[in-house]
Structures are given as C-alpha cells and as structure tokens.
Amino acid sequence: MDSTAHILGLGLVVVDQIMTVEKYPLVDSKNEATASLTQLGGPVPIALSQLVKFGHRCRFVGSWGSDPWGEQVERSLTRRGIVFEHSSDTSESTSVSQVWIEQATGRRTSCTVRNCGTGIET
C-alpha cells in the first residue's frame, strides 16, 4: 500500500519580495536594506512545498499572470515538485507581496497587491 498522500491545495500564490532592514524606516526617509530575497509565497504553495519534502504528491490550483513574475511562479512550483497543470494563467498580473523584516527583532510588515484570485470561479 502506498503510504504517501495525494494532496490538492487551492489558494493564493504570490511572489514575495523580502527586504531585511536594520530598523523600520521613518516616513519620508531613504534607507538601505541589509539583505533582499525574491521567492515563491502564499500559504498554500509554501505548505505544499513542505509536504513534498515529506514525500507526498502535491498539486496546486491557483492563478497568476502571463508575465515575468508568473514565469517565476511556474519555475518555482516545478523546481519544488508541485504539479499545477489545472491552474490558470490569466490576463491579470501576478500577485506580489513586499515583506519588510526588522533584522534585530524579526518583526515584519507585509503589503500585497492581489491581482489574481485562486483560479476557482464561484
């Protein structure tokens, strides 16, 4: 008997642009980030990524745009071993989040442009 689960995840996928800052900037100031990272984001794709590492077979249903960020989403899902053939590639642009993390405390602030939904119509 196969002990791995077949898991389907439905949800929002975003591209996270993560900036680590020494301290939160004041309004109307310019600051330098100490580190930056762009990666796949959204609670469902990240959870599926972990489940794949445990040996489960995972599929994702969501939507993203036909743009460079959408291409990055597809590369990231493929690299992580998550199947997404039933997801939609929309005329909307891919959703993007900026996450600012305060280096000393780990506190974070997130701002998201949600251009695409889950790919499921009601």
Decide: 36 and 18 in contact? Cβ < 8 Å: yes
Domains and CATH numbers, the chain: 6-113 (3.40.1190.20)
What's this model's pTM, rounded to 2 decimal places?
0.82
pLDDT at 74 over 50: yes
Encode pLDDT of 38-66 as tens digits.
999 999 999 999 999 999 999 999 999 99
Mean pLDDT of 61-83: 95
- pLDDT score at 55: 94
Mean pLDDT of 16-42: 95
More confident residue, 111 or 118: 111
Output the CA torsion sign for 66, 70, 71, 74. negative
What distances in angstroms separate CA 94 from CA 4, 5, 11, 53, 101, one per listed residue? 31, 29, 13, 26, 22
> How far is 113 from 103, CA to CA, in rounded Å?
24
Mean pLDDT of 9-16: 95
Provide the mean pLDDT of the chain: 90
Question: Angle CA(51)–CA(98)–CA(122) in degrees, nearest 5?
Answer: 60
- pLDDT score at 122: 46
pLDDT at 11 over 60: yes
Decide: 103 and 22 in contact? Cβ < 8 Å: yes
